[in-house]
């Protein structure tokens, strides 16, 4: 529960959050269009009424078709921005005590937030949105009973959406550590690689001597060690980073906004934070133009084994593979694929 409070859902990848945001804009456009039809316009210039519907419609379609990433600050402030714009629409409509239906599109932001943000930000958004909306509607003359109904219906709906947003976590979450599992990591990794890739970096981590822990102390002790590592490393992760357990004692870290120096500092901090005097070996690689995600992971894997070879308990940064080496790896993959197909 603490992880839910401070971290967004596992499924809150860039593609998912942008798609949800785009859908919310489309819903708002439809609801504003319905309000204009129901109230026979707002007595304003026709171009302004078109703008009320057209703006969220264009933004929603653009987000859904182009999958463009919102700036981080804009993404965090989007519910509050939607609140301000929506309340301006409500006040401009000047419908007095009958203004409450016009405020319903504002409430759609409560559906959006749980799918994008940690629960602490969802709670903040809900408190600001419901308080501000109720205050404005009360000022316009909406009866207190209607306001209580509005808030009372949307609070449980927001809680339901927060719960639904995390149902998918179970399919993409490692049951032991609570981190993203291999499936969850790969989905987010592929989504990240299709967008802004100038700083996409992956590190593969392997605990040194983990097999001996299992052999000497038993698998329960090994499981406790893995959980302790996850708990020690989790607070070190910067915003936007993904920490996942690939399987066994192997972990993966993906970052999209850190430079090489900051990534090295993060991995060194993780290495020093290992519990019970356990050490780790890590290989790190950053995406280069023209490289596939498979090649990036392969380079990180080679760097991790180089860290093992050099004596363990260290971080090794990968260099781009020579063209001849990449060609040889491609032929090997094609040969394996052909042998599987021919069986």
CA-based torsion, 335, 338, 340, 343: positive or negative: negative
Q: Which helix (H) or strand (E) holds 107?
A: helix 100-112
For residue 243, what are the β-bridge partners? 253
Task: Write the CA distances from 227 to 85, 147, 186, 243, integer angstroms.
Answer: 45, 46, 21, 13
Whole-number Å distance between alpha carbons of 230 and 207 = 12
Q: Which of 174, 206, 208, 249 is catalytic?
A: 249
**b/e for 131-169, b at 16 or more Cβ within 10 A?**
ebbbebbeebebeeeebeebeeebeeebeebbeebbebb
Q: Does residue 24 contact residue 112 with C-beta atoms inside 8 Å?
A: yes
Q: Is residue 215 annotated as part of the catalytic site, yes or no?
A: no
Collapsed DSSP state (helix, strand, coil) of residue 281: strand
Q: Does residue 25 contact residue 82 with C-beta atoms inside 8 Å?
A: no
**b/e for 273-291, b at 16 or more Cβ within 10 A?**
ebeeebebbbbbbbbeeeb
Residues taking part in catalysis: 249
């Amino acid at each position: 529960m603490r992880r839910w409070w401070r971290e967004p859902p596992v499924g809150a990848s860039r593609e998912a959050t942008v798609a949800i945001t785009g859908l919310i804009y489309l819903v708002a456009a439809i609801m504003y269009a319905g309000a204009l039809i129901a109230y026979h316009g707002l007595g304003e210039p026709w171009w302004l009424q078109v703008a009320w519907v057209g703006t969220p419609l264009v933004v929603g379609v653009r987000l859904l078709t182009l999958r463009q990433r919102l700036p981080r600050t804009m993404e965090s402030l989007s519910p509050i921005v939607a609140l301000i714009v929506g309340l301006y629409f409500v006040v401009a409509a000047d419908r007095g005590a009958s203004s409450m239906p016009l405020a319903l599109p504002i409430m759609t932001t409560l559906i959006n937030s749980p799918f994008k943000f940690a629960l602490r930000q969802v709670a903040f958004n809900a408190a600001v949105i419901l308080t501000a909306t109720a205050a404005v509607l009360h000022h316009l003359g909406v009866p207190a009973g209607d306001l209580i109904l509005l808030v009372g219906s949307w609070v449980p709906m927001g809680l339901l959406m927060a719960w639904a947003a995390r149902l998918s976590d179970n399919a993409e979450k490692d049951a032991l550590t609570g981190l993203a599992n291999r499936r969850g990591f790969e989905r987010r990794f592929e989504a990240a690689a299709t967008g802004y890739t100038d700083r996409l970096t992956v590190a593969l981590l392997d605990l040194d001597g983990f097999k001996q822990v299992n052999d000497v102390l038993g698998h329960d002790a090994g499981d406790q060690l893995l959980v302790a590592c996850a708990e020690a490393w989790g607070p070190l992760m910067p915003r936007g980073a993904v920490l996942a357990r690939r399987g066994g004692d192997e972990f993966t870290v993906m970052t999209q906004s850190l430079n090489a120096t900051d990534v090295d500092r993060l991995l060194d901090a993780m290495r020093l934070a290992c519990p019970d005097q356990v050490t780790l070996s890590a290989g790190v690689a950053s995406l280069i133009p023209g490289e596939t995600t498979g090649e990036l992971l392969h380079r990180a894997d080679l760097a991790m084994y180089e860290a093992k070879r050099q004596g363990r308990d260290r971080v090794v940064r990968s260099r781009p593979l020579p063209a001849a080496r990449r060609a040889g790896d491609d032929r090997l993959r094609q040969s394996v694929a052909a042998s599987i197909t021919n069986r």
